[in-house]
Every structure is written in structure tokens, then in C-alpha cells.
Amino acid sequence: MEILEILGYFGALIIGVVLGLIGGGGSILTVPVLVYLMAINPVTATAYSLFVVGTSSLVGALRNIPKKLIDFRTAIVFAIPAFVAVYLTRKFLVPAIPAEIFTVFDFTVTKNIGIMLFFAIIMVIASISMIREKDNGRNVEEEKVTYNYPLIILEGVVVGLLTGIVGAGGGFLIIPALVLMAKLPMKKAVATSLLIIAVKSLIGFIGDVENMDIDWVFLLIFTGISIAGIWLGVYLNNFINGKKLKKGFGWFVLLMGIYIIWSELY
């Protein structure tokens, strides 16, 4: 086993640990780990990422059901347009992207480069969201849960489209939407987002099963290591300040996003 492959499996563990520690964000590391450490094609990597993210999020969601932290009504309203969008994106849009998208001077933006650049932009946006996140002190727990259905459905479609293209969970988009548009308390928003991410990611992955050959042995091993990382992260959460860690992780994601842009362009 080569050193990069060992680092890749270690990366799977870190993805899970981050998910367990801060409840999100770790999934955005999945595609870079698969592409740069495991040498997997970006299109295949985004497909594998959907499975890893979906399965890991499902484990987290199942842990929250007994605690009654999941708002199933909101999850259904959000998840239906999201999983329809992600399935259609993986089934039809991603395969339809041409091998060479466009050429600027002597530089040709291929399908693989385009996906990685788009993914890097999403990483930068997500990192800024994590770095700038503040506790506004609102007692959201006492607010009545309300539903802005048109906006929730629209957000679901947008998140599904982004998830389908880059293979990330999109928690940094879903959680604010649930807090602002459904007035969910933060703890419920985080727990509900895990269920939404699980459903839309796994259904999106079905679109890939129909389009490509899947290395199930590798994928199940990688996912299993990531799930083990979640349990380790949940345990470490007793000793580590999650909010401070989230800001630090945000800076790491920002630097990684910038690195991906640089490496793909130069």
C-alpha cells in the first residue's frame, strides 16, 4: 500500500472525526481526499462522496432520532425537491457536461478541471461561513416553528443541484435555511440537516450506480473508516471546544480551496 493511499484512509477517519466533532463540514474534505490522495477521477470521486456523506449522515441522523431532535415535517418539505434535483443532476446533467468545456488562450477547461474548480469555489464559500459564524444570542428555542414553503423548496432545489455537481453534503447551506426559513432551533436544524443530507446524497448516488462501475469493496471500507471516525469525534467532543475547532477548520478548508484552484489552474 502506497503512502498516499495510507494518507487517504487516514483522511477518511478525519472526515468522520470532523463530522462527529462539529456536526458538519467534514464531508467537504471527501472529494479532495479521493482525488488527490486516492487518485480517483473527479466525476467518480463526487459519486463516491455522495455515498460516504449520505451513509455517514444517516448514522448521525439515527443517533438523533431517540433524542427527538429531528423535525420530520421540515425534513420532508426540504428533502423532496433536494433529492429530485440531485438525482436528476447525477443522472443527466453531470454525464452531459462535455469533456472540454471551453478554452481560454492555450488553457482548456476540461470536465474534470471544471468540476474541481467549482468544488473549490464551494469550499471557499463554506469556509467563510464557518469562519464568520457567530452566536447571536437569540433564544431560538422559544420561537414557533413556521414554514416558508416556496423558499424552502427553492433552497432544496439549489442545494440538490450543488450536491449533485460537487458531491458535498451542503450542510453550510441547509442549516441556515432551516433556522431562517423554518425557524427551527439550532440543535434541531443541525439534526434535521443530517437526515436531509443522508436522503438526498444516497438517492443522488443511485443516479451514479446506473451510469458507472462502482468499486464497492473500496467504497465500503472508506465509508466504514469514516463512520468509525464519527464515533471517535463524538467521544472527543467531550474534551474539545467545537465552536473554536469549527473556525480553525474553516481556515483549513479555505486554504485547501485556494490550493485546489491553484493546482488546477497551474
Mean per-residue pLDDT pooled into runs of 10, the chain (266 residues): 89 85 72 92 90 87 86 88 88 90 88 90 84 58 62 84 78 76 79 86 84 91 92 80 75 89 89
What is the pLDDT at residue 143?
54
What is the pLDDT at residue 98?
93
- Report which of 63, 57, 2, 52 is spatially closest to residue 29, judged by C-alpha positions: 52
What is the pLDDT at residue 209?
84
What is the pLDDT at residue 135?
53
Termini Cα distance of the chain: 29
What is the pLDDT at residue 139?
47
Type of residue numbered 4: L
The Cα-based distances of 27 to 1, 33, 46, 56, 137 in angstroms read: 24, 10, 11, 9, 28
Radius of gyration of the chain (CA): 18
Within the chain, where are the H helices?
A: 3-22, 30-32, 42-64, 72-88, 94-96, 111-132, 149-166, 171-181, 186-209, 216-236, 242-265
Instruction: Extract the C-alpha cell encoding 96.
Output: 452531459
